[in-house]
Amino acid sequence: MTDSEVSLLLHCAAWRGLLQAQVQVELSERFNRQTDPAVDRHIEEVWTERVSKEPWLFNGSKFRLHSFCLSSSSVSHPACTPPPHTPSSDRAKEQQGDTPHSRQRMEKSCITHSLHDAAQSSLDRRSRAVNQVESADSVSALSPASSTFSKNADDPEPLLTLRLGLTCYKDYLGTNWSCRVAELRQRGEAEFGDALALLAQPLGVGGVLCTADGQVVLIRRSQKVAEAGGLLDIPGGHPEPKVVCERLGQAVCEEQISVDMMQQRPVVSELFSSVCAEIRDEVNIPLSSLGEPVLMGVALNHTSAGRPSAEFYVSCSLTSDEVRKLYWKGGAEAHESTDIVFLGRTEVLQLDISCPLWAELCPSAKGAVLLYQTVRPDSA
């Protein structure tokens, strides 16, 4: 399936998704957006104009996805061997920021990608004719066909490392959503060898929520939200750095947050728990009715310059009728949507660009559907 609005950066089909214990993060200021005085002035101008029109907007810190690394002693690859399409010069750049601990961990086996290289690979594939659902070994070489992993929470070896820096909503509006984004990409490539270097690239989260009677939950976005008003979406939002700091006993304002205030396991916990919090707030489902989130992969939204979003599968012990009743009672973020829609699992698996419903999906929902079709986390 080809759709210019979305592509898959990585998927976890070989394991039918990853649990929290199988994911880790590497935090560093090296993974932040590259700063530039002219770009920073432009960001301030965009923000001032936007807030004057939408005074309810507020800035907040977000995690920035810089790159990722898939590692496991079970994969038969030489140490840090990238996929064949990754140029050696890019491999060197991707590995410059590694700590001794991460290098030691990666020696067993590692496939490392900068976000730009993996995104470009995904775009190249998207320009070619492909089947309705991309095969398990077609996305960023993340899931070698010869690998035979099972989803096991007791697995002591994390299979995926996400390399995260910090960014903010203001920077996102002034870069990814800027009318000058093409220029920013060109400058990033010319000056840093990375087209995404000057972009905010905040990491979002979304959840494919399945009810006890096999229905997938979609919500129709309000016309008052900043993006994709009126379109169908999955529940989602962002993992919040401020929440991590608060859980570590650090009361700080958004502007003071830095990566050295955080620890990697609480960040992973926030990544997984934030999708459940979004489901609770947007659909009004209690956390006690939700299963453990399963990470399916990361999708890219090309309507916002390839913004990444981690997409999860989340089961629910309630039926669709029970979920509908809770939704209409209203949750903490009920104002963000105007309706709830249910699709059967089979219907979701068969969705493609030829279906009229596909045009009603916002890019984040399209990416989540593609990952659900590829990973099939609830298959027997």
pLDDT, residue 119, reads 55
pLDDT, residue 75, reads 37
pLDDT, residue 331, reads 81
The set of residues, in sequence order, having a beta carbon less than 8 Å from that of 63 and lying 6+ positions away, is 164, 165, 166, 167, 202, 203, 238, 239, 241, 267, 271
Burial of residue 247 (CB within 10 Å: 0-12, 13-18, 19+) is middle
In whole angstroms, how far apart are CA 270 and each of 206, 238, 265? 13, 9, 9
pLDDT, residue 110, reads 54
pLDDT, residue 124, reads 52
pLDDT, residue 122, reads 52
pLDDT, residue 100, reads 36
Q: Tell me the chain's radius of gyration from C-alpha atoms.
A: 20
Q: Token pair for residue 185?
A: 């990409």
pLDDT, residue 115, reads 66
Phi then psi dihedrals of residue 104, to 5 deg: -65, -40
The set of residues, in sequence order, having a beta carbon less than 8 Å from that of 309 and lying 6+ positions away, is 203, 204, 205, 206, 236, 298, 299, 300, 301, 364, 367, 368
In whole angstroms, how far apart are CA 1 and each of 121, 183, 366, 370? 16, 29, 11, 9
Please report, in tens digits, the pLDDT of each residue of the chain (380 residues total). Answer: 689 999 999 999 999 999 999 999 999 999 999 999 999 999 999 999 999 998 888 899 999 999 999 865 433 222 232 333 333 334 333 333 333 333 333 334 455 666 666 555 554 544 443 333 333 233 333 332 223 334 554 544 779 999 999 999 999 999 999 999 999 999 999 999 999 999 999 999 999 999 999 999 999 988 776 676 789 999 999 999 999 999 999 888 888 999 999 999 999 999 999 999 999 999 999 999 999 999 999 999 999 999 999 999 999 999 999 999 999 998 888 788 889 999 999 999 999 999 999 999 999 999 999 999 999 999 86
Chain-centroid distance, C-alpha 292: 17
CB 130 within 8 A of CB 2: yes
Closest CA to 71 of 157, 198, 133: 157
